[in-house]
Structure 1
Amino acid sequence: MNDKFSGIEEFLMTVEMGSFSAAAERLNLTGSAVGKSISRLEQRLNTQLFHRSTRKITLTREGEVWLASCRRMMEELEQAKLLLSSQSQQIIGEIRIDLPTTYGRSHILPKLLAIQADYPKLYLNISFQDRKVDMIAEHIDIAVRFGELADLTDIIAKQIDCFQNQLCATPAFVSKWGKLNHPDDLTHFPCIVGNQISWRLMNEQGKSTGFPLNVQHQINDGDARLQAVLADCGIAFLPDWLIQPAVEAGKLVQLLPEFTPPPEPIYVLWQKKLHLQPKVKAIVNSLV
């Protein structure tokens, strides 16, 4: 008989209840049966999972590792069970989504509201912030992020778009202050920044380089920086998706296009353990 899963239920219940006897009572078994089941599990794993004493039992370091693996496996089994149930085929329930502020409001929120209109039992819990949240620790189901990603442990990512930061100013500003000939000139022109002291542009060798700035105003919101640029307050380094309407209307001009950095990706991220949930799949598919 294949017993590779034998003892896992007893192990998890013992961890939850804190003793063999309490686990046995919950499982409707004897304490001896639970103890023997875990001993056989330890023999198969060739390691000790618990420190045992007359007063209490505690997990060993190996037991902690095995606990994390078992919990992950049980979560995946539960997700598969939900997927196969008839109710799980419905797009219902709460889903927590974290979005970058300006892009999230203008480009992602309309799509999410359209999905919710199709599925009235879907409850959107949306936060807008530009910091990178810890999706696991903060219980975020789906997030949208700019640029290259770091640690993707337990996270799935798919590119949904790309963007390109561009230097821009109004024609009136250029007329007043003169032409910007090189990124080095940014130290002589008023610049409107978020929290930067330099902007990364391409140099003559095609390498990304940080160029220092003459910081005139510091504004931590993209929409607000755009408004400041449109008010002739200085030069800004803003994403193309934000400034394109103003450029097409002739209200802004792009500066130094030959030094503009290459496009960067925009990703949708979601937790691996949720990838089978219909509500997650529906939202991810709509964004992709």
Structure 2
Amino acid sequence: MDDRFAGIREFVTTVDRGSFTAAAETLGVTGSAVGKSISRLEVRLGVQLLHRTTRRIDLTTAGETFLLTCRRILEDLDQTEAFLSTGHEQPIGRLRVDLPTTFGRRHIVPVLLSLTERYPRLVLAVTLQDRAVDVVGEGVDLAVRIGALDAYPDLVARKLGEQKLVICGAPAYLARRGEPLRRDDLFAHDCLIGWRRNLQLGWLLANAESGNDAAYFDVRARHELTDGDTLLDACLSGYGLAQLPGWLAREGLRTGALREVLPDLSTTTPIHAIWQKTRHLQPKVKVAVDELTRLAALETSVFQP
């Protein structure tokens, strides 16, 4: 009888290491043994898992689907073995995390890296982007999202805090163009937009006439910049007004390199950690969520508006 698990570890290790040779070094076998093992797995499944060329190995569509299941199998097995040998559940394996670009790079990645010092068998696979990934379909273990969330029955969300949005300009720009005193004055200004795919262009502004409700307001976009640090640099350099997260504008406001305008239009957006709903939360996800929750509770946390 064929072993249904034969070739799975070789397949996952080859994808992770990028070649048969590198996988062989990790597994302590020869490169040809790894290649033959994966070939036998493909024959048994009746599908091609990898595109092979002389320079690289890429996953096929079937390989991408199968990889998600294989990772779960191996991680569950490693987790159970660790529990049997130590009596404790340990965060083990590859933690796939998706984060907003600038916020994630500045504030979340350092936290996750510190976790790997405490838990050496925890391996990070972090993507930084400003599109909303399909957490379940793309095999993401944990994501941090800024902004209102849609309700998905197969996801769990934990609110970490809020992000305040402020409108800022460099003193030189305001001296040259004047300071806006009301919302409609923005039409006469160069505005820097943090562009995101499939999202409305404009700024999320509080509506003083209807309490603190916020709505998108179309402004005259002078430049569209996808990266938060680039948006900040353009604003500091006097290219226009920008609506910036408070944590990103804080230093410029403190030093006077930026000035806030139209403070009555400032609003906040929520920050959530989200993950797939399961019967048993994997230890690798739990420790990451617990650490983010602990930091969010601190008065000096970046999660506070």
Give the TM-score taking structure 2 as reference length: 0.64
Residues 209, 96 of structure 1: alpha-carbon distance in 2 compared, 3 angstrom cutoff = closer
Measured after TM superposition, the shift of residue 167 of structure 1 is 0.5
CA RMSD of aligned residues (A): 2.2
Letter in structure 1 aligned against 2:271: I
Match of 1:223 in 2: 229
Measured after TM superposition, the shift of residue 86 of structure 1 is 2.6
- Structure 2 unaligned regions, length at least 5: 1-72, 294-305
In structure 2, how many angstroms separate the alpha carbons of the residues matched to 1:164 and 1:284? 22
What secondary structure does 2:145 align onto?
Answer: strand
Letter in structure 1 aligned against 2:289: V
What secondary structure does 1:104 align onto?
Answer: helix
Matched, 1:268 2:270: no
Measured after TM superposition, the shift of residue 275 of structure 1 is 4.5
In structure 1, how many angstroms separate the alpha carbons of the residues matched to 2:249 and 2:242? 10
What secondary structure does 2:132 align onto?
Answer: coil
Measured after TM superposition, the shift of residue 212 of structure 1 is 2.8
In structure 1, how many angstroms separate the alpha carbons of the residues matched to 2:116 and 2:279? 19
Measured after TM superposition, the shift of residue 246 of structure 1 is 1.1
In structure 1, how many angstroms separate the alpha carbons of the residues matched to 2:264 and 2:280? 41
Match of 2:111 in 1: 111
Letter in structure 1 aligned against 2:277: K
**Quick one: which of 246, 254, 274 aligns to 1:248?**
254
In structure 1, how many angstroms separate the alpha carbons of the residues matched to 2:81 and 2:292? 22
In structure 1, how many angstroms separate the alpha carbons of the residues matched to 2:201 and 2:275? 32
Residues 211, 154 of structure 1: alpha-carbon distance in 2 compared, 3 angstrom cutoff = closer
Measured after TM superposition, the shift of residue 151 of structure 1 is 2.7
Written as runs of structure 1 = structure 2, the 5 A alignment for 1:1-288 is 82=80, 85-86=83-84, 89-195=89-195, 196-205=200-209, 206=211, 207-261=213-267, 263-273=268-278, 275-288=280-293
Match of 2:38 in 1: none
Identity %: 38
Measured after TM superposition, the shift of residue 225 of structure 1 is 0.7
Conservation of the 8 A alpha-carbon contact between 1:183 and 1:211: no
Aligned residue pairs total: 210
Letter in structure 1 aligned against 2:84: S
Measured after TM superposition, the shift of residue 84 of structure 1 is 10
- Structure 1 unaligned regions, length at least 5: 1-74
Match of 2:28 in 1: none
Conservation of the 8 A alpha-carbon contact between 1:180 and 1:256: yes
**Structure with bigger gyration radius:** 1
What secondary structure does 1:158 align onto?
Answer: strand
Measured after TM superposition, the shift of residue 274 of structure 1 is 7.0
**1:102-156 CA-partner distances (Å, limit 9, x unpaired):** 0000010110010001111111111111111111100000000012211322211
In structure 1, how many angstroms separate the alpha carbons of the residues matched to 2:90 and 2:228? 37
In structure 2, how many angstroms separate the alpha carbons of the residues matched to 1:166 and 1:143? 25
Conservation of the 8 A alpha-carbon contact between 2:208 and 2:264: no
Residues 113, 179 of structure 1: alpha-carbon distance in 2 compared, 3 angstrom cutoff = same
